[in-house]
Structure formats: structure tokens, C-alpha cells
Structure 1
Amino acid sequence: MKPGRPPAGIAMVLPASEGFAPGRAGAIALVVQRLAHAAGACVIGRAEPAVFPGIDYRPAHGRPPLIYGMNVLRHLLALQPASIEIHQQPRLAVTIARLMPRSRVMLFIHNDPLTMRGLKRAAQRAHIMTRLHRVICVSTYLAERFGTSLPPATRVSPTHRPIALPNPLTLAELPPPTTSRSRTILFAGRIVEPKGIADFITACASALPHLPGWQATIIGGDRFGPNSAETPYVAAMRAAAKAAGIGFAGYRPHADVLAAMATAAIVVVPSRWPEPFGLTALEALASGAALIATNTGGLPEVTGDAAILIDPGDAAALAAAITALATDDHAREMRAAAGIARARAFDTPVIAARLQTLRGEKTAL
């Protein structure tokens, strides 16, 4: 490269724990795959036997953060990309920005920053804001959390405040919604206490006896991937579902989940914890299901007015919402249409165009 010539290209860096293959990808990997495909970006992540096709993938060996980070840096120094987008790794982002000052380094935050190493203290977050091109959070909820107790704008430039950029969903790749929906109430997600699976089971156990012809189904495991463990909590929820007459399919590949959403009449996202974004809720909206979700975290930003929102942990309110939708065909149709319309704002080309603008914006570095 000639002296003074700016670097070219985009590189996206995954956390070392994140798989990047169909059947092994979590929410972060799915988001990166969509954005990378839209931008023709290179992706750097852990070594995988197979990865998503059509993407320039560079394996960085080593799981300890230091070794993984050194191998990421090795790839970046060889690539010299104009834009480096690091997901969920604030310390690595600052290090890369210091060692590669000619590249624009952006940090993407997918979880509550106040619980992340290197971001828990306001001084740490303020330091990072002034060292990077941008900090991007996947919801306004997270951006506000990141800004908690930051110094006033007189000390931290407004251009260094975190930006909210929603996760994308490639609508053209989804199974087409069906006009004739099965009378199914669907939960799809990890089988862990914060996801509210116990509330879903309790609500369905209460509602189903009064809803002839309806059934409820659970898809999910303790984690993503076919080797998801049968933890004591999963076993307990499986037993509770069986007692309530609810189907329990266990882990299924992401394509199977989307296919189930394309035919289910109602999808429920009953999270008890503040979801950083709520990708499952967005998938349900785009799939044409009538959605019930909890009013917490980033979920209201995703759903807008297209879903019925209830308080987290309120199984009685959830049962009432399920009953109301199951017994009102028109209400379900209206929610489904609103959801499809709402999802268009999150289509990958729309979000990718917004991200491209952020890549080129100047900051007060």
C-alpha cells in the first residue's frame, strides 16, 4: 500500500464464543452474517469446520481473550480495512483503535453494557467513547444504559454519544407467510428462566382448556446448537409442558424455527429480563404471526404498536392475551398485518444503508 493511501474494505470481528455457521449461530452471528453479506465485508471469528457461504471468513484461533485478540489483530494488519467493526469486545476495540489509527473502529454492543467487563464504570465508557469512531448499540434501551452517568456533553462530544442501530432481518430470505394459519401458540427461544418459559407454560395451561382446536408448542434448548444440554431447568420445563399438554420440540435449526413462525397463528415472547433487542420478536412480526411480548428492554422498540404488550412475569395477563387473540380472528389478522408492515423498517438493506452512513461520518476524535 502506498504511503498516505487510506485502507479499503470492511472487517467485522465476532466474539470468540460465537459460532458462524447454520445451526450453530446465535443472534450476534446472524446479525453479522446479514450485514457482512450486504456490505461485502470480511468476518473474523473462531475457527469453524464450515461457515455461512458467500462470506470472506478469516479464522482466529485461540479462545482466551488475549490469544484470540492477537490473532484477530494479525488478520486486521494484513487486511488494513477502512472500517473495523468489533462486536461485544470493548477492550479489544480500544486496543485495535490504538494500533491501527488509520482505520475507523466501531464497537457494537448487543447486551447490557453495565454488566460487561470494561464498561461497568462510567469512566470506562467515557474513555471508550473518545477512543473509537462510534459506539453502536442495537437498541435505544441499550444506548441509554451505555450513557448512564457519562460526563455532560461539554466533556464528551455529542458525536461520541452511543448510537442506536437496530438489528437487521433479511425479509427476502424468510419463508413466505401462509394465509391459512395453524391454530398454534408458539414459543421459540432458549429454555432459561429469564426468557419467561415458565410463564408461557402457566398461561397456556390456563388458556388451552377454553380454546378448543388450539395447541401450544415450545421450540428451544438451553443454548443454540444441536448439542444443547438437557439441564435440570430444561428437564423441569419439559415435564411441566407435558403435564399441561404442550408440545416440546427441543432445539431445532433456525430455519425450522422460521418455518414454524410462518405457520403459527400466535407467537409469544414472554421475557422476564430486559431484552437488549428482541430478534425473535422481529422474526415473529415479519413472519405474519400475531405477537404477544413483554413490555421490557428493547422489545417495545421492536414491536411498536404491532404486538400486544404485557408486564413481564404476569402469567395471568399472558393467558388473557392469548385467549383474546385466539378467539378473535379479526384481531389476529390486524396484528399480523401490522407486524409485517412494522418489520419492513428492519429489513437488512435499510439497516445496512444506515450503517454505511455511520461508517463515513466524521467524529471529533
Structure 2
Amino acid sequence: MRVMIILPMREGYAADRAGAISLLVNRLAGPDDLVVGSPVEGTPLPGGTFVPVPPISPLWSVFSDNFRYLIGLRKVIRQYRPDLIEVHNKPAIASSLARVAPTQLILHNDPQEMRGASSPRQREALLERVRVITVSDWLRRRFLEDLDPAVVEVMPNCLDLGALPTPAPRRAPVVLFVGRVVANKGVDAFVRAWTTIASHVSGWKAVLIGADRFGIDAPRTAFVDRVEAQADIAGIAHLGYQPHPRVLEAMAQAAIVVVPSRWPEPFGLTALEAMASGAAVIASPSGGLPEVVGDAALFARPDAPGELETALLTLIGNDELREDLAARGRERAQIFDIGPARARLVALRLQALKR
């Protein structure tokens, strides 16, 4: 079975700019899978065989970037003639490509906020053309909202647990935030909470890893400048964007990882990585995060007065609780290991070909 995996146009398939979708595709792609996306500088990630979308004639320059990307995808499809097309996170592209080959759509974000799936009528039409898969049950419910019952499969994100850095036998007294430095991720709530409690937690420090976007060329924004200035005042080390291996190394050392997202995380890969790395986790109780962490984290709403501060003080002051949450997190992470995920993906691909 020749499978062609379609990345979103702005998803970089390279180590220095890979987001969550590229990292997942890299883990799961087999040697015969074709991974299609925008051209990358340097070496693509090793999963599958990377095929860059070819340049489009200047005659098409009057059309949108998305339309020109679709034209490029059609060229690649005509060249390789896949048995199955697997589109990540782009309903409109999946709907269009379904005319040329069996197609399944894997959704990583809220479909009600996506072009081609925002209305019930659009989502209903999608189900007639493509097989829909979501990375969490929360996303599945969002897709099916206001629709008659229908088959939408769930395939959670995964990790290759055997490839993670070895957790430190003695965790550093560090509270770590990892993620994009944007309001939705609650990074400013993390800085606010640490500013409030820092004088009460002698011997501990806070570290912030992230930038406005994934990649070494992430732009400076007013929000990034403001958060980093506040972090300086609070004594929080901010390291900017770091490659994914460096992020995992930091998680393997830190005692606590905070995931204080304001928006409903569709899955919550950072929380899963933190649990698998042996850190105790504090997470926002929204979106798909509760599905990921189960009973292996403390929950705190980022903007509820005192909740994040209280959770931090509770974990910092209770060694036994931290160790218990870390142990439960490592155990829970096992259900998201790469072996079961690969088997699930193969089964879903075979089902898609039988539609």
C-alpha cells in the first residue's frame, strides 16, 4: 500500500522547525510512505520519504497560497499515484483530493475553527467524501456536534518511549514551561504565578522554553517581549526556541512541568512528553488534556485566582506527591507508546481503502 501523507503548508518537516504534526508523522511514517510538504532547507526528518511540493508557475501568482499549494499537491499525486492519501489538519484539502484517491483526514485541532469544517453542513459533507480521524475524543465530539451519529475514529498522538532521554535519577528543583510563547498557551499565567510564589520557594527556579513559533527564525512579537521582560523581573530563565531533543532533555531533568493552556488543547503532547520523561505535571483541565493525563496530574485553571499558584506550592512542598504523580505519569504514558499507535494506524488505513 502506497500512502501519501500531506502536511499543512506551513508545517516544516525538518529538525529545526518541526511542530507537533511533523514530529508525529516522523514517528509513524514507514519507509514506503511518502511525506509531502513545503520544501525545507537542509535535511528532512527521517520518517518516510520526503517529497517537496514543486514550485508553481508565476502565472498562478494571482491565486492564494493555499490554492497554489493544492495545485502542487495534485502534481505530486499524478506523479506517484498513491493508493491512499492521508491529509493532516486541512479539511478543505482533504475534500478536494478525495476526488482523485481514497482519502482520510487526521484532525489535530478544533474542526469548528477550520476552513472547510466550521459548519455542521461542511462537516457532514466531509464525512461523505473522506474518513475522519481525530487525535482525541474531545475533538471527535467537536466534529460531531450538531450532526447525526456517524463514524469518526480516534487515534491519539504517540511517543517512542524507548527513544526518550534517560530520566535523571534525582530531579532538579526546576519548574519548566515548554511551548509557544502566545497567550493561548498560558505562558503569561505561568510567569504571573511564579512571580507570586518565588519568594516562598527557596532553592527552586523556573525555566521557560519557547518562542512565538517553532523554529530558530521565530519572530519577535510584542507579547514575547512583554513576557520575557516580566520573566526577567521574576528571575525566570527564558531560553527561547530550542530543538525538540533539547526540550526532551530538559523535561528529563525538571521536577515539574506546567501546561497552563487557556485554549482547549486538542490533545496535549507536551503533557504526555512530560509524563513520559518522569516529571510531575500541572495541567489545565480543558480540551483533550484530561484525556491525556488522567489521574496523573494536578489540574489548575490558568486564570482562576490562585489556582496555579496553589498547585505549584503544593507540588514544590510535597516530595511524596511529586514522586507519586511522576510514577503515575510514567505508567500512563505507556498507553501512548508507538507500537500500539502504528498498529492502529495500519488498521485505519486498511479500513479507509474498503470505503
Q: Distance in 2 between matches of 1:12 and 1:176?
A: 31
2:106 equivalent in structure 1: 108
Tell me by how many angstroms 1:54 deviates.
5.2
The SS at the match of 1:51 is coil
1:345 equivalent in structure 2: 335
1:196 equivalent in structure 2: 186
Give yes or no for contact 1:221–1:234 (8 Å, CA) kept in 2: yes
1:52 equivalent in structure 2: 45
The SS at the match of 1:311 is coil
> Which residue of 240, 246, 259 maps to 1:269?
259
Tell me by how many angstroms 1:260 deviates.
0.4
232-241 vs 199-208, which deviates more? 199-208
Q: What amino acid sits opposite 2:75 in the alignment?
A: R
Q: Distance in 2 between matches of 1:122 and 1:58?
A: 34
The equivalences for 1:23-172 within 5 A come to: 23-37=16-30, 40-49=32-41, 50-53=43-46, 55-62=48-55, 64-100=65-101, 104-132=102-130, 134-150=131-147, 152-153=148-149, 158=150, 161-172=151-162
1:91-146 CA-partner distances (Å, limit 9, x unpaired)? 2212221122xxx31001111111101111111100110111x1011111111001
Q: Distance in 2 between matches of 1:51 and 1:364?
A: 32
User: Against the structure 1 CA distance between its residues 270 and 278, is the aligned structure 2 distance closer, same or farther, given a 3 Å change threshold?
Assistant: same
* Residue ranges of structure 1 left out of the alignment (5+ in a row): 1-7
User: Against the structure 1 CA distance between its residues 362 and 273, is the aligned structure 2 distance closer, same or farther, given a 3 Å change threshold?
Assistant: closer
Tell me by how many angstroms 1:76 deviates.
2.0
The SS at the match of 1:108 is strand
309-318 vs 260-269, which deviates more? 309-318
Q: What amino acid sits opposite 1:207 in the alignment?
A: I
Q: Over aligned residues, Cα RMSD in angstroms?
A: 1.6
The SS at the match of 1:85 is strand
Give yes or no for contact 1:296–1:312 (8 Å, CA) kept in 2: no
> Which residue of 1, 11, 15 maps to 2:4?
11
Give yes or no for contact 2:133–2:152 (8 Å, CA) kept in 1: yes
Tell me by how many angstroms 1:67 deviates.
1.9
* TM value normalised by structure 2: 0.94
Q: Distance in 1 between matches of 2:23 and 2:305?
A: 30
Tell me by how many angstroms 1:61 deviates.
3.1
Tell me by how many angstroms 1:83 deviates.
2.2
> Which residue of 182, 196, 211 maps to 2:201?
211
The equivalences for 1:169-184 within 5 A come to: 169-184=159-174
The SS at the match of 1:250 is coil
2:58 equivalent in structure 1: none
61-70 vs 210-219, which deviates more? 61-70
Q: Distance in 2 between matches of 1:193 and 1:56?
A: 36
Tell me by how many angstroms 1:88 deviates.
1.6
1:5 equivalent in structure 2: none
Give yes or no for contact 2:27–2:47 (8 Å, CA) kept in 1: no
Moved segments of 4+, more than 4 Å:
362-365
* Residue ranges of structure 2 left out of the alignment (5+ in a row): 56-63
Give yes or no for contact 2:104–2:352 (8 Å, CA) kept in 1: no
Give yes or no for contact 1:199–1:315 (8 Å, CA) kept in 2: no
Tell me by how many angstroms 1:269 deviates.
0.3
Identity rate of aligned residues, in percent? 43
Give yes or no for contact 1:278–1:302 (8 Å, CA) kept in 2: yes
Q: Distance in 2 between matches of 1:91 and 1:215?
A: 45
1:21 paired to 2:18: no
Give yes or no for contact 2:168–2:253 (8 Å, CA) kept in 1: yes
Q: What amino acid sits opposite 2:96 in the alignment?
A: T
Tell me by how many angstroms 1:252 deviates.
1.2
1:213-257 CA-partner distances (Å, limit 9, x unpaired)? 101111111111111122111111011111111111111111111
2:345 equivalent in structure 1: 355
1:273-302 CA-partner distances (Å, limit 9, x unpaired)? 111111111110110000000000111011
Tell me by how many angstroms 1:81 deviates.
2.3
1:246 equivalent in structure 2: 236
The SS at the match of 1:48 is coil
- Count the aligned residue pairs: 346
Tell me by how many angstroms 1:315 deviates.
5.3
Give yes or no for contact 1:18–1:46 (8 Å, CA) kept in 2: yes
Give yes or no for contact 2:260–2:282 (8 Å, CA) kept in 1: yes
Give yes or no for contact 2:191–2:234 (8 Å, CA) kept in 1: yes
Tell me by how many angstroms 1:77 deviates.
2.6
Q: Distance in 2 between matches of 1:251 and 1:183?
A: 22
The SS at the match of 1:361 is helix
Give yes or no for contact 2:174–2:206 (8 Å, CA) kept in 1: yes
The SS at the match of 1:223 is coil
66-75 vs 223-232, which deviates more? 66-75
Q: Distance in 2 between matches of 1:224 and 1:362?
A: 32
Q: Distance in 2 between matches of 1:99 and 1:20?
A: 25
Q: Distance in 2 between matches of 1:363 and 1:53?
A: 26
